[in-house]
Homo-oligomer: A and B are copies of this chain.
Amino acid sequence: MEARVTCIPASAPNDISGLRAAIENGRVSAAHIVAILGKTEGNGCVNDFTRGYATDTFKAFLGGLTGQDAGDIERRTAFVMSGGTEGGLSPHWIVFEIHPDRTPPRPDRKALAIGTATTRPFAPHEIGRMPQVNETAHAVREAMAHAGIDHVDDVHYVQVKCPLLTKSRIARAVGDGHTVATTSTLDSMGYSRGASALGVAVALGEIGEDTVHDGVVCRDYGLYSSRASTSAGVELMENQVVVMGNSPHWSGDLLASHDVMADAIDAAALLRALAKVDIHATCPLPPEPARRVVTLLTKAEASRSGQIRNARHTMLDDSDIASSRHARALVGGVMAGALGRTALFVSGGAEHQGPDGGGPLSIIVRRGD
Interface residues of A (CB under 8 A from B): 9-14, 41-43, 45-50, 52-53, 56-57, 60, 85-92, 264-268, 282-284, 308-309, 311-315, 317-322, 325-327, 329-338, 340-343
CB distance from A331 to the nearest CB of B (A): 7
Query: 16 other contacts beyond A320-B320, A329-B333, with CB at 8 A cut-off?
Result: A12-B52, A14-B49, A60-B60, A85-B313, A87-B329, A88-B330, A90-B308, A266-B337, A267-B337, A283-B283, A309-B341, A329-B329, A330-B336, A335-B337, A337-B337, A337-B338
Q: Which of B311, B314, B333, B341 contacts A333 (CB 8 A)?
A: B333
Given A53-B49, A283-B283, A331-B333, do A342 and B87 touch, yes or no (CB 8 Å)? Answer: no
CB distance from A283 to the nearest CB of B (A): 4
Residue in chain B with minimal CB distance to A312:
B90
19 residue pairs A–B, Cβ–Cβ below 8 Å: A10-B312, A13-B49, A41-B318, A47-B314, A49-B53, A53-B53, A86-B321, A87-B330, A88-B313, A90-B314, A264-B336, A265-B336, A266-B337, A267-B284, A282-B283, A283-B284, A283-B338, A321-B325, A334-B334
Taken together as a complex, chains A and B put the C-alpha atoms of A322 and B282 apart, in Å, by 33
Given A52-B14, A56-B14, A86-B326, do A337 and B283 touch, yes or no (CB 8 Å)? Answer: yes
Contact status B267-A88, CB under 8 Å: no
CB distance from A334 to the nearest CB of B (A): 3
Contact status A311-B342, CB under 8 Å: yes
Contacts of A343 in B (CB 8 A): 311
Taken together as a complex, chains A and B put the C-alpha atoms of A56 and B49 apart, in Å, by 13
Contact status A47-B319, CB under 8 Å: yes
Contacts of A89 in B (CB 8 A): 313-314
Taken together as a complex, chains A and B put the C-alpha atoms of A51 and B349 apart, in Å, by 27
Taken together as a complex, chains A and B put the C-alpha atoms of A338 and B270 apart, in Å, by 12
Given A282-B283, A284-B268, do A41 and B317 touch, yes or no (CB 8 Å)? Answer: yes
Contacts of A336 in B (CB 8 A): 264-265, 308, 330, 333-334
Contacts of A308 in B (CB 8 A): 88, 90, 336, 342
Taken together as a complex, chains A and B put the C-alpha atoms of A289 and B48 apart, in Å, by 38
Contacts of A314 in B (CB 8 A): 41, 47, 85, 89-91
Contacts of A334 in B (CB 8 A): 333-334, 336-337
Taken together as a complex, chains A and B put the C-alpha atoms of A12 and B45 apart, in Å, by 15
Contact status B46-A329, CB under 8 Å: no
Taken together as a complex, chains A and B put the C-alpha atoms of A329 and B41 apart, in Å, by 16
CB distance from A317 to the nearest CB of B (A): 5
Contact status B86-A9, CB under 8 Å: no
